[in-house]
Structure 1
Amino acid sequence: MFRTPLSLFRTLAILEAISWTLLIAALITRAVDADLALAVTIGGGIHGFIFLSYGATVILVALNNRWRAWPTIVGLVSAVVPYATIPTEIWLHRRGSLVGNWRLEQTDDPRDRAWYDRALRWFLRRPWALGLLIAAAVVVLYVSLLVIGPPGGKG
């Protein structure tokens, strides 16, 4: 399904934009009728999970495609601004940052000898393990953030 970094990144960028729509619609629904506050809980929960998944995707693709700090920061920050993941994906694609395949094998490039590159290749060759690792990390972070509470407090 996600045969390239581009396909995974594009999918999560689109899902993040859709989740913003869901959250904004829920906020409007609650503003119209306070009895429908559950809509924000549901929409916010979905958006939060996709937000964290998008962040994990940015980091995975940045490592795989050897991005410098700037594109990685832009990719991560774009999730905070509603709908910014779409123009960010377009920008990254146009500049060639999403080109290429998953780096499954070591090359002659000296950068391929770093410990994190070896770990990345190991996980990329075992997508089930990578999926479990990312899912576990997202779930742990998501639950931690739920325990901490929403931005601005629970007022």
Structure 2
Amino acid sequence: MTPRTLYRRIALAEVVTWALLLLGMVLKYVTKTTDLGVRVFGLAHGVVFIAFCLVTVLLWVNQRWTVREGVLGLLSAVPPFLTVWWERRLERRGRLDGDWRLGRLDGDWRLGRDGEAPANPAERVVATLLARPMMAVGVGIVAVLALTGVALLVGPPVGKQG
């Protein structure tokens, strides 16, 4: 899976969970029929939101985005439906082109086809993860679950809702 494909899929998942959460909010606050949609879709959206942010940081490092691109990528997950627009903008500008930069090869660190070394600690972490894809998936899953657990302990973004 290329960086472009991963980002496209996670951006679309974020949009879908936003739509489902908004539907749940309509059912709870407008029709006053049930709050089940907010509870179920809110959790789903929270998990996908966290995953989107982690993938954004991963691509920020891998694709060597600017600080502006990385921050805007993270912020695009906050308003409903903006992630797909952001992903398409990055694609049009060629910021999702290429493949994953490689990790350790033959004892040397290489991030790309030209054999460049990681320039900073973030690139070293990404290079290590990309050298071990199954470990990277496991680390990603554990990170999403851990951050979701923290979010559940902290509670809703605007205090306790009834």
Q: Structure 1 length normalisation: TM-score?
A: 0.91
- The reply on whether 1:138 has 2:140 as its aligned counterpart is no
Unaligned runs of 5+ in 1: none
* Mapping of residues 1-155 of structure 1, within 5 Å: 2=1, 4-105=2-103, 106=110, 107-109=114-116, 112-155=118-161
1:75 Cα deviation from its structure 2 partner: 0.6
Unaligned runs of 5+ in 2: 104-109
1:20 Cα deviation from its structure 2 partner: 0.6
User: Which structure exhibits the higher relative contact order, with contacts defined as CA atoms closer than 8 Å and separated by 6 or more residues?
Assistant: 1
Q: In the alignment, is the contact (CA less than 8 A) between 2:3 and 2:59 conserved in 1?
A: yes
RMSD: 1.5
Map Cα deviations across residues 6-27 of structure 1 (whole Å, 9 max, x no partner).
0100000111001111000100
1:38 Cα deviation from its structure 2 partner: 1.7
C-alpha distance in 1 between matches for 2:15 and 2:26: 17
Q: In the alignment, is the contact (CA less than 8 A) between 2:11 and 2:87 conserved in 1?
A: yes
Partner of 2:107: none
Runs of 4 or more above 6 Å deviation: none
% identity of equivalent residues: 33
1:114 Cα deviation from its structure 2 partner: 3.3
1:140 Cα deviation from its structure 2 partner: 1.1
SS across alignment from 1:36: coil
C-alpha distance in 1 between matches for 2:24 and 2:136: 32
